[in-house]
Amino acid sequence: MPRIEGDELHVLVVDDSAMVRQVMQTILSTNRRVKVSTAADPLIAWMKMRKEPPDVVITDLEMPRMDGLTFIRKIMLEMPTPVVVCSGLAARGTELALRALEEGAVEVISKPKVGVRDFLHESAVTLLDAVWSAAQAQVKARPLTSAPSLSANPKADLVSPRKGRPRVAELIGGVIAVGASTGGTEALRIFLAALPTGCPPVVIVQHMPEVFTRAFAQRLNKECVIEVEEASNGDQLRTGHALIAPGNRHMLVDRSGDELVVQIVDGPLVSRHRPSVDVLFRSVAASVGPKAVGIIMTGMGDDGADGLCEMKAAGATTIAQDEASCIVFGMPKEAISRGAVDIIIPLDKIAGAALNAQRQLART
């Protein structure tokens, strides 16, 4: 059951690095509502979990005595618990982290290449947000063929200034803009796999560390009939093509003559994130207006709520994933509460609703 706001949160940190365990414990303990325990490997962690089940597990993937993927499978089979992966950014680590998400992990945070202690202190906001987000996740048991063996906003103005309403007559076709966070990797896979090759351009912000977004896009590209790739500055929006904002960079949609292109920019955290859904949605409201569809999916916090309000005010159709199909209902719930949402539907219905909205727009 997701944690109720105000409750104490028990977090178990599993990492073979004593430095990482110490620093993460120090950071997490700055919040008095967080109780932290640690373990040097999954075997020790499992014994602690049996005695005192945690609310959230933070784990590395490459550890002695048991690898992280096996550990996650064990957790999801026997003691379903929200898992946050803390992984390195090497190519192999990236692939393992994406597989961990497929196995049931709900968040990925990254380790630095150097200076672990400094990195974690600078990323305290991200770490704490990831933990509280994971604590709200609806985690369900994932049966396996055989069980693994234990023996083995004002800031938004700085990034995307407010603009006048777009000159709609200049635009060719429409755009689907999507924002997601916790649970979003699976939600996006389902959504994008349902889109046909002739769908309007899709632009996506998924809260995810840098480097991971490229591997994530490549994996989706293999599974979907449309093209999916990590966005680069100046990329043109094209039919049957989805662009995912690179980790740690904001993505905006802008006009270039009669074309729509993306801008990839640095800037402060907006709504506690970079990339920010608010930044993307605001730019789409300004550049595309009523020819856009905005979609807010599963995730913790309120990133995207203000931006979706701006899209709706600009005449766009706005859609939110419903609570029953969300891993975390925070982001859709906040957008709904602010009156930003036209349609609330299950995940598996979103692609059809977005395409139907675009078809109706094409007739106007």
CB atoms within 10 A of CB 343: 17
Question: Do the Cβ atoms of 264 and 229 come closer than 8 Å?
Answer: no
Q: How far apart are CA 130 and CA 327, in angstroms?
A: 13
Question: Do the Cβ atoms of 285 and 311 come closer than 8 Å?
Answer: yes
Q: List b or e across 210-225, with b for residues whose CB sees 16 or more CB atoms inside 10 angstroms.
A: ebbbbbbbebbbeebe
Q: How far apart are CA 298 and CA 329, in angstroms?
A: 6
Beta bridge pairs of residue 363: none
Residues taking part in catalysis: 181, 207, 303
Q: Please give, one letter per residue, the 3-state secondary structure of 233-272.
A: CCCECCCCEEEECCCCCEEEEEEECCEEEEEEECCCCECC
Question: Do the Cβ atoms of 162 and 286 come closer than 8 Å?
Answer: yes
Question: Per the structure block, which two tokens stand in for 83?
Answer: 């898992």
CA angle at 57 for the pair 347 and 64, rounded to the nearest 5°: 120
Instruction: Provide DSSP, 151-217.
Output: T--HHHHHHS---PPP-GGG--S-EEEEEE-TTHHHHHHHHHHT--TTPPPEEEEE---TTHHHHHH
Beta bridge pairs of residue 177: 203, 294
- 130: closest CA among 23, 9, 217? 9
CA diameter of the chain: 66
